[in-house]
Amino acid sequence: MKLAAAGGADNDKNYFENSISWVHPNGSKWELETTDGRVVSISMGMPLSEELSGFVEVRGICQGPTAVFCNSYLTFPPDMTDKFEPDLYNEAVKLVNTVPNPWTQSG
């Protein structure tokens, strides 16, 4: 299992692309480690109905610097993540966050 992830934020809605490092037996909480080495606790309104493994994208509401309430998640198959380069991804996230809003054009 890869224990790496990257994350970003859009106001109070956060997303993380990551791998699972721990799941509570009842499936209502789990943890992941980001590509920059942070451990993030994920809580859910409903317990997981499937086993999670590999890289997962989490979307939800920030509940503190290392906690997110998960609204939705998406798992990625290993063939999409085998060649993932976390250091390169981290650099891209840093670059995008150097401008106030990278998705608008000035003119």
Please write the tens of the pLDDT for every residue from 53-105. 778 888 899 998 899 999 998 888 888 888 888 889 889 888 888 888 767 76
Q: How far apart are CA 20 and CA 39, in angstroms?
A: 10
DSSP element (H, E) containing 13: strand 13-23
The CATH number that applies at residue 28 is 2.40.50.140
**Is the model's pLDDT at 41 over the cut of 90?**
yes
Euclidean distance between the first and final Cα of the chain, in Å? 46
| Res 80: pLDDT | 87
103 assigned to some structural domain: no
Residue ranges making up the domain that contains 71:
6-81
Structure tokens at 5: 């992830």
62 within some domain: yes
Residue 3 has pLDDT above 60, yes or no: no
Domain assignment present for 66? yes
In total, how many domains does the chain have? 1
Residue 49 belongs to a domain: yes
Higher pLDDT: 70 or 17? It is 70
Structure tokens at 13: 């809605």
The Cα–Cα gap between 73 and 56 comes to: 7
In a domain, 95, yes or no: no
pLDDT tier for residue 10 given thresholds of 50, 70 and 90: very low
